[in-house]
Amino acid sequence: MARVTVVVNRVAGLQARAAEEFTQRAREATAGITVSRPGQHPVEADRMLLVISMEVEQGEEIVIEGDDAETVEALSAIAGRDDTDEPEPEPTRDFDDISADDPEGSR
């Protein structure tokens, strides 16, 4: 069984985009993977709500464990990546295009 302890370097911790990326990669595992804070009860790493409910913040340690060593290492890299210089995603809709004459905005 592979076990890695990693410091979460993501700006928002293991929330939102980071949690989505983390759980998507965990779903690709060939065996079950868990994540926890050191000494606490583990949760399934492929369950978005469970991962988000941990409320892991930047700078906290997590333990990733499972029989798929490649996925454990990949999840460690995702959680440990420093994303301070990553650009924010583009908005899906430009709200500057909404006018009083067209409350629905340009589509």
* Structural domains present in the chain: 2-86 (3.30.1340.10)
Q: What is the mean pLDDT of the chain?
A: 87
Q: pLDDT tens, 5-54?
A: 999 999 999 998 899 999 999 999 999 999 999 999 999 999 999 999 99
CB atoms within 10 A of CB 72: 25
Helix (H) or strand (E) holding 79: helix 69-80
Q: pLDDT tens, 16-27?
A: 889 999 999 999
Which residues are paired to 12 by β-bridges?
none
pTM for the full predicted model: 0.78
Cβ burial, residue 88 (10 Å; 0-12/13-18/19+): exposed
pLDDT band at 102 (very low <50, low <70, confident <90, very high): low
User: How much is the average pLDDT of 70-94?
Assistant: 80
- Check whether 70 has a pLDDT greater than 70: yes
Alpha-carbon gap, residue 101 to 77, rounded angstroms: 49
Alpha-carbon gap, residue 86 to 74, rounded angstroms: 19
